[in-house]
Amino acid sequence: AFEIQDDFSNGGIKPEGLSAPWQTGGTIRVCRLAFNLWNGWTEAGDERYSTPHELFDCSYAPYFFEAIRLRYPDYCQSNERTIKRLAEQNR
């Protein structure tokens, strides 16, 4: 999917891939998040579609959180300890 949409030779992405015929509402959200995590991209004029409210409003939300943890591991370390502690308390 992303091979159609990346342009790593130029250090960027190809946002026109968002309008590819195979895209669904969910895959467009996946691509928008990936583009944003890659280089902070948001679509000019349609920035509202890159907000957490829009991106995470689908069944892929748990995977999006994992993508953020992978992209920003330093920011998520304390959260992982908290989640583990809460999980142990609920047992």
- 88 band by pLDDT with thresholds 50, 70 and 90: confident
Give the SS3 label for residue 59: coil
- CA-CA distance, 13 to 38, in Å (whole number)? 9
The pTM of the full predicted model, rounded to 2 decimals, is 0.65
Sign of CA dihedral 79, 29, 56, 36: positive
- CA-CA distance, 50 to 64, in Å (whole number)? 13
- CA-CA distance, 75 to 4, in Å (whole number)? 31
Q: Please give the average per-residue pLDDT across 2-21, as a whole number.
A: 69
Please write the tens of the pLDDT for every residue from 43-67: 888 888 888 888 888 888 889 988 9
Token digits of residue 78? 């304390």
